[in-house]
Amino acid sequence: MSEAVTRTLTPPPGLLGSLDPLLREWLPRQRWFAGKGRPVTGFSLVAATELLPPGGKLSLYHLLVRAHQPLAPVPGAPEQPADCYQLLIGEREALPPRLAPALIGHVAEGPLAGRTVYDALYDPRPTELLLEALRTGARIGGLRFERDGSRRIRSGLVPRLVTSEQSNSSVVYGDTFILKLLRRIVPGVNPDLELPLALAREGCERVPAPTAWIRAELAGESYVLGVLQPFVQGAADGWELALRELAKGEDFAAAARALGRATAEVHTALARTLPTVTLGHTQVQQLVDGMVERLDVAAQAVPALQPYAPGLRSAFEALAGLAAEGGTWTAQRIHGDLHLGQCLRSPAGRWWLIDFEGEPSKPLAERRMPQPPVRDVAGMLRSFDYAAHSADPPIPGWAENCRAAYCSGYAQVSGADPRTDPVLLRAYETDKAIYEVVYEARHRPDWLPVPLSAIRRLAADGGTPTPSVPAPTPASPPSPRRPRP
Residue 136, pLDDT > 70, answer: yes
Residues 121/88, Cβ–Cβ less than 8 Å: yes
Return the higher-pLDDT residue of 220 and 420: 420
- 246 and 353 together in one domain: yes
- 261 and 115 together in one domain: no
- 143 and 202 together in one domain: yes
Output the pLDDT for position 80. Answer: 64
Whether residue 396 lies inside any domain: the answer is yes
Q: How confident is the model at residue 479 (pLDDT cuts 50, 70, 90)?
A: very low
Mean pLDDT of 393-417: 95
| Whole-number Å distance between alpha carbons of 260 and 279 | 24
Whether residue 138 lies inside any domain: the answer is yes
Write phi, then psi, for 116 (nearest 5 degrees): -110, 130
- 255 and 383 together in one domain: yes
- 171 and 297 together in one domain: no
**For 253-274, how does the pLDDT look when each residue is reduced to its tens digit (9 = 90+)?**
999 999 999 999 999 999 999 9
Output the pLDDT for position 77. Answer: 53
Mean pLDDT of 317-340: 97
Spatial neighbors of 168 by CB under 8 A, at least 6 apart, are: 32, 180, 181, 182, 183, 357
Residue 8, pLDDT > 50, answer: no
- 194 and 341 together in one domain: no
Residue 118, pLDDT > 60, answer: yes
pTM, two decimals, is 0.88
**For 15-68, how does the pLDDT look when each residue is reduced to its tens digit (9 = 90+)?**
999 999 999 999 999 999 988 888 999 999 999 999 998 777 899 999 999 999
Whether residue 399 lies inside any domain: the answer is yes
Output the pLDDT for position 467. Answer: 40
Residue 5, pLDDT > 60, answer: no
Percent of the chain scoring above 70 in pLDDT: 91
Range of the domain at 88: 14-70+81-120
Q: How confident is the model at residue 377 (pLDDT cuts 50, 70, 90)?
A: very high
**For 453-469, how does the pLDDT look when each residue is reduced to its tens digit (9 = 90+)?**
999 999 985 544 444 34
| Whole-number Å distance between alpha carbons of 381 and 388 | 11
DSSP class per residue in 460-480: STT--SS---PPPPPPPPPPP
DSSP class per residue in 366-378: HHTS-B-THHHHH
- 320 and 176 together in one domain: no
How many independent structural domains does the chain possess?
A: 3
Q: How confident is the model at residue 451 (pLDDT cuts 50, 70, 90)?
A: very high
Whether residue 3 lies inside any domain: the answer is no
Whether residue 420 lies inside any domain: the answer is yes
- 282 and 310 together in one domain: yes
Output the pLDDT for position 3. Answer: 37
Output the pLDDT for position 218. Answer: 87
Residue 99, pLDDT > 80, answer: yes
Residue 144, pLDDT > 50, answer: yes
| Whole-number Å distance between alpha carbons of 385 and 394 | 11
Report the CATH number that the domain containing residue 129 is assigned in CATH: 3.30.200
Return the higher-pLDDT residue of 390 and 254: 254
Percent of the chain scoring above 90 in pLDDT: 80
Q: How confident is the model at residue 443 (pLDDT cuts 50, 70, 90)?
A: confident
Whether residue 6 lies inside any domain: the answer is no
**For 166-224, how does the pLDDT look when each residue is reduced to its tens digit (9 = 90+)?**
789 999 999 999 999 999 999 999 999 999 999 999 999 999 999 999 999 988 899 99
DSSP class per residue in 422-454: HHHHHHHHHHHHHHHHHHHHHH-GGGTHHHHHH
- 243 and 267 together in one domain: yes
- 240 and 227 together in one domain: no
Start-to-end CA span in the chain (Å)? 26
Residues 259/380, Cβ–Cβ less than 8 Å: yes
Output the pLDDT for position 360. Answer: 81
Whether residue 5 lies inside any domain: the answer is no
Whether residue 282 lies inside any domain: the answer is yes
Q: How confident is the model at residue 394 (pLDDT cuts 50, 70, 90)?
A: confident
Residue 89, pLDDT > 70, answer: yes
3 state SS of 33: coil
Average pLDDT, the chain: 90
- 298 and 419 together in one domain: yes
Please say which residue of 186, 211, 231 terminates a domain. 231
- 37 and 170 together in one domain: no
Mean pLDDT of 83-109: 96
Q: Give the bridge partners for 181, in sequence order.
A: 169, 226
Residue 473, pLDDT > 50, answer: no
